[in-house]
Structure 1
Amino acid sequence: MHPYRRFSLAERDRRWKAVRQRMAEENLAAIIAPPNPGNSTDWQADARYLSHCGGGADTSIGVVFPLEGEVTVVATSAQERWGPLVQDWVADVRTVNRQFGAAMGERLRELGLDGQRIGISGLVGGTRTPEGTIMHGTYEALVRAVPNASFVEAGELMQDVREVKSQEEIDVLQCSIDLVERALEAQLAAAQPGVPDYVVWAETMHAMFRRGSELSVHFNWISGDNPGRTLTRPTARPLREGDLILGEIEASVIGYRAQRLPVVAVNRCPPVIRDLSVIHGDMYAELLEVLRAGATVREAIAATVDITRRIAPRSGPLAGLKASLILHGRGLGDDRPLVLTKLGGDPFYGATERAMEAVFPEDGVYICKPAISTADGVFQFAWGDTVRVTARGARRMGRMPHGVQVSEPGSFTDWPTDVTVLSGGA
């Protein structure tokens, strides 16, 4: 077999048993996990979770997962890319020349499931996908293949199983956050005045990929003297002393992506950001104690706001600090919940409103990245790490210290100038 990192057959059996138990409870004869590599492959996480097939920035994988019978993977160049030289979970791997719906429908007919109740992952809304993720043509092909079947949403069933992580999954997520922290070390070395923003980003990403991270990974990035919300990619502006670099950084290990939201200051940190960082650290430590198994999303949001209000200075420029919470699942893809609130704690996204009473399970893994802001909203400090929920509270999986990190003054000149997107040539 090609030397990829893999999960064990015991991990496969654990997952399949848990999913099939839920399927029996909901009277599902099969689950369809359709191909959709969108959003950094988040939207076909269920297909990879069930099959151990997937990986790469543009790979489309579909899975037919029956309550009884052999699991089937449909893909392009399936045997070469996903056969026994790549994974040992699924033997029935079929090349379908991108006619995914027709091929999955044919498999349903082989299983004799016309007229049965069949779940589709992504038929309707998910945490970030209120309109679903299955392609219209794929769905139509399934309906034509088994016109008497009853199709229902299976995304929540899969989330129920996926939210609690096994030790193998936690170990892989730990490797992911370790890669991210090596990337942050590279970022600190490159973050010098005069270095283009995109060069520092490239050094950050390179440090992960040269250690084995997969594509695709999610990232956001921005730099400036008071940059605010992150952008979707770096700019060409040269950094200046005192700039801040904010980014959401992920590494991918077998598709599992831990995340960090670091704050890096170029050679010196503005005093107000330093002071906000200290207060944020005190709030963060208390918040992790609240994030114990059995706590609800509503309680986590309230704690973020209440702790910040209690520990904020009573006078001076930092009096009346406001707080918000961003928290979402970490794992193979678009893991629940998705907690997004405004400063003051009000949710502003439908998936957050639906999740207010959701309970954090033991061994759930999340990126927890609250923000605090001055009362006038001019200055904000957001920072986050991937955390694992235990019975006694959440535990950070990263090892770097909390708070703003300041790059030491130095020299960094190692970037190409012969051809750039700005010049269009030499």
Structure 2
Amino acid sequence: MILRGLDCLIFFGNDVSWGRGMANFRYITHCASALGGWAVFPLDGEPVVFNGPAHMLAPYSIYRSLQDWVQDIRADAGTGAVIDYIKQKGFERATIGIVAYGTHNTAHTLPYNSFVSLTRGLPNASFRDETAIVNEMRTIKSPEEIRFLDKASQIARKKVDAMIRTIRPGTTEAEICAQMIAVDISNGGEPQTFNLLTSDNVFEDDSGYKHLLHGSEQPGSPTMRPIRNGDLIITEFHTVYCGYMAATEFSVFVGEPPRELVEIHRASMESLKAAENIMKPGNTMRQVWEAMREPAERRGFDFVELGFHAHGLGS
């Protein structure tokens, strides 16, 4: 903050994109509220958090018990309370950095009306978007953060195992998803509904089965569709432990898979192994995606490429 000439930072967080909109807010304040909120982080002095309606903070905010970093936690009354606090601290003419959340596939989360309210309420202050400085801080994970990611991955593996155990002809998508959520929570994961679980039969002439490329988001997934022989069940889901996310994609086939699916699976496993081998310090992202594309291109397969889309900044 000193190097960037900032007197204070204003943080805004919300639950956009299954909670990722809280990532920067949570990293600094240790408050992981789905209700979102505001925080003021001065260069000198203690931070303050504005979170939740007044009745949920009376007589005591739960976040006072869940962390020991921020002690001043107040009701979220919108930008008016933030503006009043800034004035009380003498920052009416300060250089203020705004920190929200945004990646190349998630729009900047600070609402336009909120920004207008801040600039009108503090007309002599200078505002700058400083979301990038916190993103940069979080890009390289500490050993403790890596342990959290590893724990999230362990829980994710248990969810995959639960998925495999549950899938039988007659079982519904909803039952499969419910078992995965139960395993997540019972092993210490944070409740996550993000699961693009989708199924369809690959042997039937059904133009709708093309949705198996991506799955379906909530509330379109899961459905009460019963599983049958010849079904392909795909899933992409998130597992979060202490705010750190493991993203998983996994597919299960019921019965004897067709040759085409076996070849796709082999290419996918080669691509995964190529990524593990090439993702080392000093290599470029271009080298990574070229290595990952090669098994599909060599076989003449088409592919759907999500790209590198900032899951790491969602933790």
**Same-fold call, TM cutoff 0.5:** yes
Distance in 2 between residues matched to 1:80 and 1:293, nearest whole Å: 46
Q: Is the 8 A contact 2:25 2:100 kept in 1?
A: no
Q: Return the offset for 1:261.
A: 0.4
Q: 1:295 to 1:26 in 2, by over 3 A?
A: farther
- Which of these residues, 298, 309, 314, is aligned with residue 328 of structure 1? 309
Q: Is the 8 A contact 2:13 2:100 kept in 1?
A: no
Q: Is the 8 A contact 1:72 1:94 kept in 2?
A: yes
Task: Show the counterpart of 1:146.
Answer: 122
- Confirm or deny that 1:249 pairs with 2:237: yes
Q: 1:185 to 1:278 in 2, by over 3 A?
A: same
- Confirm or deny that 1:170 pairs with 2:149: no
- Which of these residues, 9, 32, 47, is aligned with residue 71 of structure 1? 47
Distance in 2 between residues matched to 1:115 and 1:194, nearest whole Å: 66
Distance in 1 between residues matched to 2:78 and 2:275, nearest whole Å: 45
Task: Show the counterpart of 1:305.
Answer: 293
Q: Is the 8 A contact 1:33 1:44 kept in 2?
A: no
Q: Is the 8 A contact 1:114 1:148 kept in 2?
A: yes
- Counterpart residue identity of residue 232, structure 2: L
- Confirm or deny that 1:228 pairs with 2:213: yes
Distance in 2 between residues matched to 1:293 and 1:68, nearest whole Å: 36
Q: Return the offset for 1:31.
A: 1.6
Q: Is the 8 A contact 1:41 1:216 kept in 2?
A: no
- Counterpart residue identity of residue 129, structure 1: T
Q: Is the 8 A contact 2:103 2:310 kept in 1?
A: no
- Counterpart residue identity of residue 175, structure 1: K
Task: Show the counterpart of 1:117.
Answer: 95
Q: 1:217 to 1:49 in 2, by over 3 A?
A: farther
Distance in 2 between residues matched to 1:89 and 1:255, nearest whole Å: 16
- Which of these residues, 277, 282, 287, is aligned with residue 275 of structure 2? 287
Q: 1:244 to 1:214 in 2, by over 3 A?
A: same
Q: Return the offset for 1:331.
A: 4.8
Q: Return the offset for 1:119.
A: 1.3
CA RMSD in angstroms, aligned pairs only:
2.2
Q: Is the 8 A contact 1:62 1:75 kept in 2?
A: yes
Q: 1:331 to 1:304 in 2, by over 3 A?
A: closer
Q: Return the offset for 1:307.
A: 4.8
Q: Return the offset for 1:298.
A: 2.9
Distance in 2 between residues matched to 1:81 and 1:264, nearest whole Å: 44
Task: Show the counterpart of 2:205.
Answer: none
Distance in 1 between residues matched to 2:4 and 2:201, nearest whole Å: 54
Q: Return the offset for 1:222.
A: 0.9
- Confirm or deny that 1:29 pairs with 2:14: no
Task: Show the counterpart of 1:51.
Answer: 29
Q: Is the 8 A contact 1:30 1:119 kept in 2?
A: yes
Q: 1:112 to 1:70 in 2, by over 3 A?
A: same
Task: Show the counterpart of 2:64.
Answer: 84
Q: Is the 8 A contact 1:187 1:203 kept in 2?
A: yes
- Which of these residues, 213, 228, 238, is aligned with residue 240 of structure 1? 228
Q: Is the 8 A contact 1:304 1:323 kept in 2?
A: no
Q: Return the offset for 1:231.
A: 0.8
Q: Deviations over 1:106-155 (max 9, x none)?
A: 222233222222111238x533333x211234323322332111111112
- Counterpart residue identity of residue 290, structure 1: I
What SS does the corresponding residue of 1:81 show, helix, strand or coil? coil
Task: Show the counterpart of 2:104.
Answer: 127
Task: Show the counterpart of 2:37.
Answer: 61
- Counterpart residue identity of residue 203, structure 1: Q
- Counterpart residue identity of residue 24, structure 2: D
What SS does the corresponding residue of 1:41 show, helix, strand or coil? helix
Q: Is the 8 A contact 2:100 2:131 kept in 1?
A: yes
Q: Is the 8 A contact 1:105 1:146 kept in 2?
A: yes
Task: Show the counterpart of 1:274.
Answer: 262
What SS does the corresponding residue of 2:275 show, helix, strand or coil? helix
- Confirm or deny that 1:214 pairs with 2:195: no
Q: Is the 8 A contact 1:173 1:258 kept in 2?
A: yes
What SS does the corresponding residue of 1:129 show, helix, strand or coil? coil
Task: Show the counterpart of 1:397.
Answer: none
What SS does the corresponding residue of 2:213 show, helix, strand or coil? coil
Alignment gaps of 5+ in structure 2: 203-211
Distance in 2 between residues matched to 1:119 and 1:103, nearest whole Å: 17
Q: Is the 8 A contact 2:64 2:73 kept in 1?
A: no
Q: Deviations over 1:307-341 (max 9, x none)?
A: 543xx3xxxxxx412345433334562x6xxxxxx
- Counterpart residue identity of residue 310, structure 2: G
TM-score (norm 1): 0.65
- Counterpart residue identity of residue 93, structure 1: I
